Amino acid sequence: MCGIVGFVGNEQAAPIVLEGLSRLEYRGYDSTGVAVYAPEKGLQVRKAKGRLQVLSDQLHGGVDLPGTMAMGHTRWATHGVPSDVNSHPQVSTNGRFAVIHNGIVENYMEIKEFLMDHGVQFVSETDTEVVAQLLDYLYDGNLLETVEKMLHRIRGAYSFGIICADEPDKMVGVRKDSPLLLGYGEGFNFFASDVTAFIDRTREVSYLDTNEIAVVTREGIQVYNEYLEPVEKERHHVDWDISAAEKGGYAHFMLKEIMEQPEAIRKTISPRIQNGRVVLDDLHYEADYLNNLDKIYIIACGSSYHVGMAAKYSLEKLLRKPVEVALASEFRYCDPLVTDRTLAIVISQSGETIDTLTAMREAKRLGARVLSIVNVVGSTIARASDDVLYTWAGPEIAVATTKAYSTQLAVIDLLALNFAQTMGTIDQAEYDAILSDLQAIPDKLEQVLKQKDEIAYFASLYFNQSSIFFIGRHLDYAIGMEGSLKLKEISYIHSEAYAAGELKHGTISLIEDGTLVVALASYTPLFEKMISNVVEVKSRGAEVVGLTVDSHSEEMSKTADHIITVPDIHPMLLPSLNVVPMQLFAYYVALQRGCDIDKPRNLAKSVTVE
Ligand code: AGP
Q: Write down how long the chain is.
A: 610
First to last CA, the chain: 29
State pTM to two decimals. Answer: 0.81
pLDDT at 241 (0 to 100)? 76
Count H helices, E strands: the chain?
A: 20, 27
Helix H or strand E encompassing 432: helix 428-449
Which residue out of 317, 364, 538, 605 is catalytically annotated? 605
The answer to whether residue 258 scores a pLDDT higher than 70 is yes
> Does the Cβ of 583 fall within 6 Å of ligand 1?
no
The secondary structure of the chain in percent helix, strand, coil, rounded to multiples of 5, reads 40, 25, 35
Q: How far is CA 378 from CA 81, 381, 390, 556, in A?
A: 5, 8, 10, 46
504, 456 Cβ separation under 8 angstroms: no
> Does the Cβ of 358 fall within 6 Å of ligand 1?
no
Number of neighbours of residue 461 by Cβ within 10 angstroms: 15
> Does the Cβ of 349 fall within 6 Å of ligand 1?
yes
381, 346 Cβ separation under 8 angstroms: yes
CA-nearest residue, atom 16 of ligand 1: 348
Contacts of 476 (CB under 8 A, 6+ apart): 500, 520, 521, 522, 523, 526, 530, 547, 574, 578
pLDDT at 1 (0 to 100)? 66
The mean per-residue pLDDT over the stretch 45-60 comes to: 94
The mean per-residue pLDDT over the stretch 118-127 comes to: 96
Render pLDDT for 432-459 as a digit per residue (tens, 0 to 9).
Answer: 999 999 999 999 999 999 999 999 999 9
Strands 516-520 and 277-278, bridge-based pairing = unpaired
The mean per-residue pLDDT over the stretch 47-64 comes to: 94
pLDDT at 246 (0 to 100)? 77
Number of neighbours of residue 535 by Cβ within 10 angstroms: 12
Render pLDDT for 269-312 as a digit per residue (tens, 0 to 9).
Answer: 999 999 999 999 778 899 999 999 999 999 999 999 999 999 99
Angle between helices 428-449 and 403-423 (to 10 degrees): 170
- More confident: 141 or 377: 141
For residue 224, name the pLDDT band (cuts at 50, 70, 90): very high
- More confident: 57 or 80: 57
> Does the Cβ of 489 fall within 6 Å of ligand 1?
yes
Identity of residue 389: L
Which is the closest atom of ligand 1 to the Cα of 605? 4
Q: How far is CA 517 from the centre of its chain?
A: 30
pLDDT at 606 (0 to 100)? 80
Identity of residue 509: S
- More confident: 397 or 482: 482
pLDDT at 391 (0 to 100)? 94
Strands in 97-105's sheet, in edge-to-edge order, are 90-91, 97-105, 156-164, 171-176, 212-216, 221-224, 230-231
Which is the closest atom of ligand 1 to the Cα of 400? 2
- Calculate the average pLDDT of the chain: 94
Which among 389, 348, 342 is positioned nearest to 362, based on CA atoms? 342
pLDDT at 139 (0 to 100)? 98
Based on the number of CB atoms within 10 Å of its own CB, is 512 exposed (0-12), middle (13-18) or buried (19 or more)? exposed
The CA distance from 454 to 564, in Å, is: 8
> Does the Cβ of 399 fall within 6 Å of ligand 1?
yes
18 by DSSP, 3-state: which? helix
The answer to whether residue 608 scores a pLDDT higher than 80 is no
Does residue 605 carry a catalytic annotation? yes
Which is the closest atom of ligand 1 to the Cα of 300? 16
The mean per-residue pLDDT over the stretch 221-240 comes to: 92
Q: Tell me the sheet residues that pair with 43.
A: 37
The answer to whether residue 104 scores a pLDDT higher than 90 is no
pLDDT at 21 (0 to 100)? 95
Which among 565, 587, 588, 586 is positioned nearest to 577, based on CA atoms? 565
The answer to whether residue 240 scores a pLDDT higher than 80 is no
pLDDT at 379 (0 to 100)? 82
Render pLDDT for 162-171 as a digit per residue (tens, 0 to 9).
Answer: 999 999 999 9
The mean per-residue pLDDT over the stretch 380-399 comes to: 91
Neighbour-count burial for 38-71, b at 16+ CB within 10 Å, e otherwise: beeeebbbbbebeebeebbeebeebeebbbbbbb
The answer to whether residue 59 scores a pLDDT higher than 70 is yes
The answer to whether residue 32 scores a pLDDT higher than 80 is yes
Alpha carbon of 384 to ligand 1 centroid (Å): 19
> Does the Cβ of 533 fall within 6 Å of ligand 1?
no
The answer to whether residue 245 scores a pLDDT higher than 90 is no
Strands in 516-520's sheet, in edge-to-edge order, are 494-499, 467-472, 516-520, 543-549, 562-566
Which among 348, 347, 351 is positioned nearest to 379, based on CA atoms? 351
The CA distance from 568 to 219, in Å, is: 52
Does residue 301 carry a catalytic annotation? no
The answer to whether residue 12 scores a pLDDT higher than 70 is yes
The CA distance from 585 to 42, in Å, is: 54
Helix boundaries (H) for 450-521: 452-462, 475-491
pLDDT at 343 (0 to 100)? 98
